[in-house]
Amino acid sequence: MALAEKFNHPHPAHETRVVLTYIQMAKAIYRIADLMSSAEPSNPEARARLKSLVADLEQAGADNVKAIKIWRTGDSARALASRVKKAMAGTESTWQASARRHRAWK
């Protein structure tokens, strides 16, 4: 991110934020899957950890959509408008569905 911010144009930093937020989402999903593969749903500590991880996923997803919107306003993304809208919709539906599913873990 530091390197992208050194450019005299904002697009590299915006694009880097989009990629970073995708990585954050992937890490959150991995951590949720890892916890759910080994923890007992009746364990209060596991439930508290899951709640925290779902919050991390929700935040990463919201950050990703925000980053895509900011990046999309730049000149370099105008030609990708329909693809970008689909990416934003896909991101939102993925993290929202995952969060709903894991909140219901019992």
Q: Do the beta carbons of residue 98 and residue 32 sit within 8 Å?
A: yes
Which residue would you say has higher pLDDT here, 40 or 12?
A: 40
What are the domain boundaries of the chain? 12-103
Other beta carbons within 10 Å of 34:
11
pLDDT at 59 over 90: yes
pLDDT at 49 over 90: yes
Q: What percent of the chain has pLDDT over 70?
A: 77
Give 3's pLDDT tier (boundaries 50, 70, 90).
low
The closest of 22, 28, 5, 14 to 99, measured between CA atoms, is 28
> 3-state class of 10 per DSSP?
coil
Q: Do the beta carbons of residue 80 and residue 39 sit within 8 Å?
A: no
Q: Do the beta carbons of residue 1 and residue 17 sit within 8 Å?
A: yes
pLDDT at 11 over 80: no
